[in-house]
Structure 1
Amino acid sequence: MRYPLVSKGAVLGILFSAAALSVNAQKIEEQELKVNVDKISNSTEHLKNLQPVTFKYDVQKYKHLKLPAGEQYGFLASSVQSEYPAMVYEATKMYDQGKNNSKVARYSEVQSENLIPVLVAAIKEQQAEIELLKKEIDLLKKKSK
């Protein structure tokens, strides 16, 4: 290497920049960041209305969108929209249509990861119901003796 001091200086500059960024980082408390926090209710009822599906993207017809090939698991955006409208968004992908010409494709997508809190809430609802049913069974067993 012809300029060893230049490369060492560049590395030191990057390290100092990274250190400065971490020192100047603003710490925001979760309670300040998230507003209108509320529990998820009736999740089991809403989930019963969703229809999980398998599907394949038409990668031949829509090559320009570079969609994943093979079998996919998910939901149709149209069915999720009625139960959880905030989980459906309009995705956009820009693609070349020729020399100096680009187009934008728009289609509905489901933010599947947002279903995780709903699934946890549904499990908790079901578990509470199971515990209640267990108590009822135990009570009935005691009465029948």
Structure 2
Amino acid sequence: MKYLIFKGAFMALLLSASTLTVSAQKIDEQELKVSVGKISNSTQHLKNLEPVTFKYDVNKYKHLKLPAGEQYGFLASNVQPEFPAMVYEASKVYESGKNNSKVAKYNEVQTADLIPVLVAAIKEQQAEIELLKNEVKLLKAKSK
């Protein structure tokens, strides 16, 4: 008897949960993103970056659980002058004894944010290539 009451209560709970509705709000991108501007001089900014390989000191900083092995990326100190918004202060909480924790803070680069800059640089370079192609055509035509 208790089993049937429990089963009935459980079924009622499931039915009431399934009748809940969730409404989604569709926000237009033009409303969501403000102060939209084009990325300019991207090629020049990228030329000032130094891609590097590095390894984290996983022995000294075991408590941070950093990835082992060779990494590819940038030094935050090199990216900061060119793209300050791509550098942020990361923090990791770690245990430092019984019932005690600390926070380690360090600068990190949001490398995914480089993708739009890379696309802008490719477009800049492509425009320059097209300009040079046209110059070569004109020079060939003049030399005939």
TM-score (norm 1): 0.89
Q: Which residue of 2 aligns with 1:134?
A: 133
Distance in 1 separating the partners of 2:117 and 2:40: 9
Relative to structure 1, the CA distance from residue 140 to residue 116 in structure 2 (aligned partners, 3 Å threshold; closer, same or farther) is: same
Cα gap change, 1:143 to 1:105, in 2 (>3 Å) = same
Q: 1:12 to 1:140 in 2, by over 3 A?
A: farther
Are 2:87 and 1:88 aligned? yes
2:65 maps to which residue? Answer: 66
Distance 2:140 2:7 in 1: 84
Within 1, Cα distance between the matches of 2:87 and 2:35? Answer: 20
Matched residue type, 1:46: H
Q: Which consecutive unaligned segments of at least 5 residues does structure 2 have?
A: none
Secondary structure, aligned partner of 2:80: helix
| Identity value in percent | 71
Count residues with an aligned counterpart.
140
Q: Which residue of 2 aligns with 1:27?
A: 26
Name the aligned partner's letter for residue 99 of structure 2. Answer: N
In terms of mean alpha carbon deviation, does 120-129 or 27-36 score higher? 27-36
Separation of aligned partners in 1, 2:104 and 2:62: 12
In 2: Cα distance, 1:6 partner to 1:134 partner: 77
* One-letter identity of the residue aligned with 1:74: G
Q: 1:143 to 1:73 in 2, by over 3 A?
A: same
SS at 1:54 equivalent: strand
Q: Aligned equivalents of 1:105 and 1:53: distance in 2?
A: 23
**AA paired with 1:118?**
V
Report the Cα offset of residue 98 of structure 1: 1.0
Over aligned residue pairs, what C-alpha RMSD do you find? 1.6
Deviation at 1:13, TM superposition (A): 5.1
Deviation at 1:81, TM superposition (A): 0.2
CA deviations on 1:63-120 (whole Å, 9 max, x unpaired) are 1111111111000000000000000000000011111100000000000000000000
Larger Rg: 2
Query: By how many angstroms is 1:27 displaced?
Result: 1.3
Q: Which residue number corresponds to residue 39 of structure 1?
A: 38
Q: Which ranges in structure 1 are unaligned for 5 or more consecutive residues?
A: none
